[in-house]
Structure 1
């Protein structure tokens, strides 16, 4: 016999409307009541009919995760796997599913958004990257469709977003190298159209200027977030007549490529080159040598992005539009 919402209400000693509010994570339901009702639901084997619920509430209980480039390229980087884990963990607590979509080119992005929005396939969208003059942010903002940005928008500073203070994080990483006695410090950046690349480069330059050190353009290389990018960067830097003695690297996976390139060229870390990178993904501790990295709390970024978007969809979000997640330096043998 099928267990109904009335059966759950009777067993929990509450009204059917209270059970409905628990299922939809209504903010006015106390934690104790919610836990009791969910326990009864588990004991009775009750599962909400989300399809029927969606017809009544006109919601899909699905969040869209918008991947701005081919997914196979993104998931070469451990950052995204950990980030998605945070998104999924929080979404599942509120009964939301995740729909991921990717675009092979920028020209297809608005069409992909339209498929999600006009088809009413999702209630809100999470944008994984922030770019300068981003047409996706502009379009979603104009359509007033619920979305959250990982990063920040220069054109729309008040859109819902979750980010680190990337300028300060890069400043701190560079100052660590300066305090270790380095005066010749290079910077391996990401693509220049990404705001994250811009902010981390800005923090590096601020630290260098404050210390009175020269910023050399031939020691700054802009690449994609790929291991091969670090490998190529080493071929360029180590062929110079005057080379840096330390590098601030925009992403751990790029740092792995740098390690490989230095090893093949016969150089040692940190004796010949010191490295500090970003993200503190799991493999940084296992590399040889272990890499110093800026921990940006990847999981927390994803978790908060999911949480803040869900609260916005439900009309219960009362925080600031921009949430900043703290960072910390994790120092290992590469510096």
Structure 2
């Protein structure tokens, strides 16, 4: 038989309202009464209704995530799982639950944010991307609703955010290729309205111009997505152009490991093996794909962890906390798993 709050109150010899106040740790209840009621709760193995408790406390103890991706990409691109794991590690440690919703468009993300806020089913929101003139950020700021962002926003004032130095990371990986003798280097970007895409392209462009190399428009693909399909499509376009007389690049800088994987698959299909390829995220795709390439480890787990830390600190009203974290990156060699 299910134990109810009435059963606890009867055994403890108090009213149901007193039991409710004990559960919410109200200062109006004496420590002696709290100890007696908590002992009964433990003995009866009573589990308070989370929804009812959240209504009483005006807190859901839940963090809402908005993932800017489709269901298929969410499963195939480990970045999201790694970042969500980091979020969960911090939230569970601090007594919060997590719910998530995913959507590819900005309008869809905004709809989710509006629903989260109006339903009051979450105490705060973590956005998994930052766009140029981001409508979700504007909405949440205007409604004074707690949120944090994975990705540097356009305007950082009043926003909690966590990111890598994507400009410097891409500059470094491009510079390393140049120092190895590469001059004709292609670049694959992400969605044009994502700040991370802009930062990574600017890092690539800076490294090329510092060394006096022109940016070839035929080898730059700036309005894409972080998918294997986009990487393959771009590589096939490069190969097709080479058959018409264009020179193949000696290296390709991509903005995501899934893009890199698509490039490598297209190269293998066309029996091309002498082009260096770099990716981003150091996702463990090598566990099920026999490809080798260079990747920038963005420490996705830490991105999620610190996004949750910033947000929960805000929700709980902690003072003198940082407004952002920059998570370090490092260049790694992704090796195939045989």
Q: Same fold (TM over 0.5)?
A: yes
- Distance across 1 between alignment mates of 2:105 and 2:205: 32
Evaluate the alpha carbon distance shift between residue 221 and residue 307 of structure 1 in structure 2; reply closer, same or farther with a 3 A threshold: same
Q: Please give the root-mean-square deviation of Cα atoms over the aligned residues, in Å.
A: 2.8
Asked whether the equivalents of residues 282 and 334 of structure 2 are also in contact (C-alpha less than 8 Å), the reply is no
Unaligned runs of 5+ in 1: 5-16, 22-40
Compute the displacement of 1:191 (Å).
Answer: 1.4
- Distance across 1 between alignment mates of 2:84 and 2:42: 26
Which stretch of the first structure deviates more once superposed, 52-61 or 116-125? 52-61
Compute the displacement of 1:52 (Å).
Answer: 4.9
Among 260, 267, 272, the residue aligned to 1:262:
267
Whether 1:232 and 2:233 are equivalent positions in the alignment is: yes
Instruction: Report the counterpart of residue 177 of structure 2 in structure 1.
Output: 177
- Distance across 1 between alignment mates of 2:68 and 2:333: 32
- Distance across 2 between alignment mates of 1:62 and 1:233: 41
- Distance across 1 between alignment mates of 2:59 and 2:162: 24
Evaluate the alpha carbon distance shift between residue 148 and residue 42 of structure 1 in structure 2; reply closer, same or farther with a 3 A threshold: farther
Give the 5 Å matches for 1:321-332.
Answer: 321-332=323-334
Rg larger in structure: 2
- Distance across 1 between alignment mates of 2:276 and 2:325: 32
Whether 1:274 and 2:276 are equivalent positions in the alignment is: yes
SS of 1:243 mapped into structure 2: coil
Compute the displacement of 1:69 (Å).
Answer: 4.4
Compute the displacement of 1:20 (Å).
Answer: 6.9
Give the 5 Å matches for 1:119-268.
Answer: 119-222=119-222, 223-240=224-241, 241-268=246-273
- Distance across 1 between alignment mates of 2:165 and 2:78: 21
Instruction: Report the counterpart of residue 298 of structure 2 in structure 1.
Output: 296
Which stretch of the first structure deviates more once superposed, 73-82 or 249-258? 73-82
SS of 2:331 mapped into structure 1: strand
- Distance across 2 between alignment mates of 1:303 and 1:254: 25
Instruction: Report the counterpart of residue 36 of structure 1 in structure 2.
Output: none
Asked whether the equivalents of residues 284 and 293 of structure 1 are also in contact (C-alpha less than 8 Å), the reply is no
Compute the displacement of 1:284 (Å).
Answer: 3.8
Asked whether the equivalents of residues 228 and 254 of structure 1 are also in contact (C-alpha less than 8 Å), the reply is yes
Instruction: Report the counterpart of residue 314 of structure 1 in structure 2.
Output: 316
Evaluate the alpha carbon distance shift between residue 109 and residue 288 of structure 1 in structure 2; reply closer, same or farther with a 3 A threshold: closer
- Distance across 2 between alignment mates of 1:45 and 1:247: 59
Evaluate the alpha carbon distance shift between residue 58 and residue 80 of structure 1 in structure 2; reply closer, same or farther with a 3 A threshold: same
Whether 1:97 and 2:102 are equivalent positions in the alignment is: no
Give the 5 Å matches for 1:27-66.
Answer: 50-66=50-66
Asked whether the equivalents of residues 313 and 321 of structure 2 are also in contact (C-alpha less than 8 Å), the reply is no
Which stretch of the first structure deviates more once superposed, 156-165 or 190-199? 156-165
Compute the displacement of 1:211 (Å).
Answer: 1.3
Compute the displacement of 1:290 (Å).
Answer: 2.1
Compute the displacement of 1:102 (Å).
Answer: 2.9
Evaluate the alpha carbon distance shift between residue 188 and residue 103 of structure 1 in structure 2; reply closer, same or farther with a 3 A threshold: closer
Question: Could you tell me the TM-score, scaled by structure 1's length?
Answer: 0.82
Question: Could you tell me the TM-score, scaled by structure 2's length?
Answer: 0.81
Evaluate the alpha carbon distance shift between residue 228 and residue 163 of structure 1 in structure 2; reply closer, same or farther with a 3 A threshold: same
- Distance across 2 between alignment mates of 1:111 and 1:185: 40
- Distance across 1 between alignment mates of 2:84 and 2:327: 16
SS of 1:126 mapped into structure 2: strand
- Distance across 2 between alignment mates of 1:181 and 1:19: 66
Cα deviation per residue 1:149-207 (whole Å; 9 max; x = unaligned)?
11011134441001000000101111111111111111111111111110000001111
Unaligned runs of 5+ in 2: 9-20, 26-40
